[in-house]
Amino acid sequence: MLYHTFSTLQPWHVGSFCLVMMIAIFLSDAPHLLYTAIRIFFHSILSIFFDKVEIIGLYQNIPPQGPVIFCINHANQFMDAVMVLCTLSREISYLMAEASWKRRIIGDFAQALQVIPVKRAQDEARKGIGRVTVVQNEDKDDKDATTSKRLILQGHEGTQFTQQTKVGDKIRLEGMAYAAKIVHMESDTCLHLAWDSPTPPPPFHTSLQYDILPQVPLQVVFEKVLDRLTLQGAVGIFPEGGSHDRTDLLPLKIGISLLAYQALDTHGLRVPIIPVGLSYFHAHRWRGRAVVEYGKPVYVDPATLPEFRQGGAARHAVCQAFLSQVEDAMRSVLVQSPDYETLQLLHTARRLYQRPEQQQTQEKQDLARRFTVGYQKFVQQMAEHPDAMPPEWMDLQRRLKEYANELKELGLKDYQVNMLVASEDEEKESSSLYMGLQWLYSVVHLVVLLMIAAVPTLLLNLPVGVLAGLYSERRRQKALQKSKVKIHGYDVMLTEKVVFCMVMVPTLWFIYFLILRFGTNLEGPTISLIMLSLPVFSYVGIIVAKAGMVGWNDLRPHLMRLFPTTRPRLKALPATRQALQKDLRAFIKRIGPELGDLYYEKEVDWAAVQEKYRRSKEESSVQLDKKEQ
């Protein structure tokens, strides 16, 4: 019809117009298409490196539209951002350290995702001249401090405070993760610091080295974030400031409070702050497991806005109060403890106490939080009233540790102890021929799985896997040397493995292509088919190898029973577990009423529990200070 109406119109005219329109549509949606492509790519990365990623609270707590800030704990370096990006249905932009933003590969992805770079004070840290001692630690309430804690440093060995520092910079003492802000400078040998952390260091006379963290202007960053929020966007923030492998949160940066208040003050946006808890299990290893939990949003109270507008101490006070609310909300979606040993102890106790019907991820997380929070409350009560300590408390802890150590030495998991009981019963009820056939089937099944996985694993995965492990270990040691907060540096290992594999896997495939092309007589279509099948065989090798490892773990207890040295220990485990489980449940039944809602309530408001526990700790600290005075 067109050609009859417009006689001069040619088919190539229509084709050219359609091509131009397609290009225009593509360019207009290019950022969204690129975001989707990157999200699909990282989904494949997670499916390779993680055995399971479980999500809690995704649809209940996240608004489908409108501005939102996601407040995320930082336990696995850049994989934290990938985890949230892949589990969210909304597009999200992040704040990232400028040093990481400039890094190859990671920085390239960050720029494609329109990540906002932030210059961090710790990246600009420099060594201070001389050494310092803490000579005074007292409460202050003046305009200069804008905080209740005042720390006074005395310089030694040629300190040059007036030349090296200025008011607003921060000082980080040797061996401490927290940095305190300079609020007053008396001389080259005396500084006054504002210490916002709830546990400032006591006065001590041992001289320490120190780092100077220069004040970094963040107004440009704030403006970019506020622009995203006014466009109804979602922004992800890691308020701890850097990744770490500790079992508890680092002190949160006050910037998230300032952002929330500025959004309300300048744009009238009451932005929901949604806490995101990332819990990893064997995160630094291949095929680990992760739980992503989205909590209930936290909002700025508009009634506190006049105090924010006053500036000075009033602004600092309301921002600190809101930051405490955010921290309580973050703790409500995490399972944390004072140290790793305590966390392992509580995990063991939770598995023993857990009922068979409590198999959902949310139920397990809830029970784990009841144990960790209940443990901390119980320890606090015992510290205040040591005479009320139950006599079986220490014995129960010792037995839990011994049970966990016995499992570790035997290379078993807790769930496998019940398999030992079933195996004993089967031996009594079944004939030796039947048992022999069952064992033969298990062994043959395992061998077949390993054979299927052998070729793709040896040729495609093993070289890269070994090199990635060596590379990530070297990067871990380097990160550990540079960091003031890491314990082992495990938080960087998975990221380094992923980055290494992004480079080395295509490189290895290209090497195989060169070998096939110039070292064989295969035809082009055959080589193309082989190259296209490499990703499939590589992924199948990973899945089958994982299935083989599961089969080996299930078979291991049966094989260990053949050895005279381990058979008696394995035989005693079920009875040990049963007795420990019985005593643990009886102990919790005894002390449970003292824990209140943690014991009685089916559904717990974890943010409220964390707030109550925080206030209780603060009151105990104040009372302790009064007693010491």
* CATH number of the domain enclosing 199: 2.40.10
- What per-residue confidence (pLDDT) applies to 8? 66
Pair (325, 272) in one structural domain: yes
> Do residue 80 and residue 224 come from a single domain?
yes
Confidence check: pLDDT of 7 > 70: no
Q: Select from 213, 236, 258 the last residue of a domain.
A: 213
Q: Are residues 526 and 445 in the same domain?
A: yes
Q: Identify the residue whose tokens are 């009685």.
A: 600
Residue type, 473: E
488 within a domain of the structure (yes/no): yes
Same domain for 257 and 244, yes or no, is yes
Are 84 and 227 in a shared domain? Answer: yes
CB within 8 Å of 238: residues ≥ 6 apart: 72, 73, 74, 80, 94, 95
pLDDT confidence of residue 151? 80
Chain centre to alpha carbon of residue 541: 28
| 584 half-sphere exposure, CB direction, 13 A CA radius | 24
Cα separations in angstroms, 413 against 70, 111, 124, 406, 580: 35, 43, 45, 10, 16
275 SS3 class: strand
- Output the pLDDT for position 595: 84
CA atoms within 13 A on the CB side of 386: 1
Q: What percent of the chain has pLDDT over 90?
A: 26
Domain-embedded: residue 14: no
pLDDT attached to residue 142: 44
- What is the per-residue pLDDT for 568? 84
> Does 424 map to a domain?
no
5 pLDDT higher than 70? no
Segments forming the whole domain that contains residue 309? 28-120+218-331
Q: What percent of the chain is modeled with pLDDT above 70?
A: 85
Same-domain pairing of 322 and 385: no
Whether the per-residue pLDDT at 122 is higher than 90: the answer is: no
- Asked if residue 9 is part of any domain, the answer here is no
Residue 291 three-state SS: strand
569 is a domain residue: no
> What torsion do the CA atoms of 592, 597, 600, 602 make, to the nearest 10 degrees?
-130
Residues 487 and 365 in one domain: no
Burial (0-12, 13-18, 19+ Cβ within 10 Å), 185: middle
pLDDT of residue 123: 76
Query: Alpha-carbon distance 367 to 354, whole Å?
Result: 8
- Give the lowest-confidence range in 32-46, 226-240, 264-278, 590-604: 590-604
pLDDT at 139: 54
**Continuous H helices in 214-301:** 219-230, 255-267
Which tokens sit at 130? 């001389």
**Separation of alpha carbons 286 and 50, rounded Å:** 7
How many structural domains comprise the chain?
A: 4
Do 110 and 141 belong together in one domain?
no
Within a domain: 10 = no
pLDDT of residue 408: 87
Is 60 exceeded by the pLDDT of residue 138?
no
DSSP H or E segment with residue 469: helix 462-482
Over 80: is that where the pLDDT of 428 sits?
Answer: no
Res. 628: pLDDT tops 60: no
Across the strands, what pairs with 45?
none
The string of pLDDT tens digits covering residues 451-510 is: 655 666 666 777 888 899 999 999 999 988 888 788 888 989 999 999 999 999 889 889
Average pLDDT value for residue range 535-561: 75
Among 263, 298, 331, which residue terminates a domain?
331
CA 606 – CA 294 distance, rounded (Å): 13
Question: Would you state the structure tokens that stand for residue 343, as one six-digit string?
Answer: 């966390």
Q: Is 1 among the domain residues? A: no
pLDDT band, residue 327 (cuts 50/70/90): very high
Best mean pLDDT range from 198-202, 437-441, 464-468? 464-468
Q: Is the pLDDT of residue 261 over 90?
A: yes
Same domain, residue pair 144 and 116:
no
Higher pLDDT, 617 or 352: 352
Q: Is the pLDDT of residue 145 over 50?
A: no
For residues 225 and 286, state if they share a domain. yes
Confidence of residue 326 (pLDDT cuts 50, 70, 90): very high
Mean model confidence pLDDT for the chain: 82
Q: What is the structure's pLDDT at 625?
A: 57
pLDDT score at 448? 65
Eight-state DSSP code of residue 114: T
| Best mean pLDDT range from 215-219, 267-271, 426-430, 446-450 | 267-271
Same domain, 199 and 256: no
The token pair that represents 507 in the structure block: 């490189």
- Within 10 angstroms of residue 231's Cβ, the number of other Cβ atoms is 8
Angle between helices 432-456 and 524-560 (to 10 degrees): 150
Q: Is 153 helix (H, G, I), strand (E, B) or coil?
A: strand
What angle, 0 to 180 degrees and rounded to 10, lies between the N-to-C axes of helices 493-519 and 30-49? 90
Nearest to 381 by CA among 202, 593, 589: 593
**End residue of a domain, out of 213, 244, 265:** 213
Same domain, residue pair 514 and 435: yes
Residue 423 included in any domain: no
Indicate whether 534 pLDDT > 90.
Answer: no
